[in-house]
Amino acid sequence: MSEINVSEITKAIETTVDELLAEMPSELSPYEIAIIANAVLTVAVPEDVEYKAIRSQYMYNYSKNGMIVKGSKRTGAGVKYTVAEVNAFLKKYLVRRVVQGDLQKGIVSSKINEILASKIQTEEVLEGQES
């Protein structure tokens, strides 16, 4: 895994959110928010950084629990959010998800893989010396 620049990833996410939302209708459903979030991750996050795709059900749950717009619990078939609400939510959510969540897991799993590979190499060398 190459060196990860958190500020570059953050800036790329924020810029991509702005660009994509500029092309969207004035109101968006939780399903549309999930589609936009995944598009942002695909475009803005470097290929060597692992992340999980966001399922649309997550956005419906966030809507129901008032996490898209703090304190505004919205449910039902016609739930919509303004572009400004979506912009603020996605920037905060995606940066946190990638930088603090999935990215950290990737760094940890990468370090674990390096340690395991080193241990295996050491064991192979020791076995070779014994024979």
pLDDT tens per residue across span 11-67: 889 999 999 999 999 999 999 999 999 999 888 887 777 778 899 999 999 999 999
**Span 68-83, mean pLDDT?**
91
Residue 42 domain-assigned (yes or no): yes
How many domains, the chain?
1
Helix axes 30-44, 83-95, angle to 10 degrees: 50
Residues whose CB falls within 8 Å of the CB of residue 20, separated by 6 or more in sequence, listed in order: 36, 39, 40
C-alpha distances in Å from residue 101, one per residue of 9, 19, 54, 75, 119: 13, 24, 13, 27, 27
Confidence of residue 5 (pLDDT cuts 50, 70, 90): confident
In this prediction, residue 124 carries a pLDDT of 59
Residue 1 domain-assigned (yes or no): no
Q: State how far the Cα of 83 lies from the Cα of 110, in Å rounded to an integer.
A: 37
Q: Which domain holds residue 34?
A: 6-130
Residue 71 domain-assigned (yes or no): yes
In this prediction, residue 44 carries a pLDDT of 84
- Per-residue pLDDT of 78-113, as tens digits, reads 999 999 999 999 999 998 887 776 555 555 455 555
In this prediction, residue 1 carries a pLDDT of 42
In this prediction, residue 114 carries a pLDDT of 60
Residue 17 domain-assigned (yes or no): yes
Q: State how far the Cα of 91 lies from the Cα of 85, in Å rounded to an integer.
A: 10
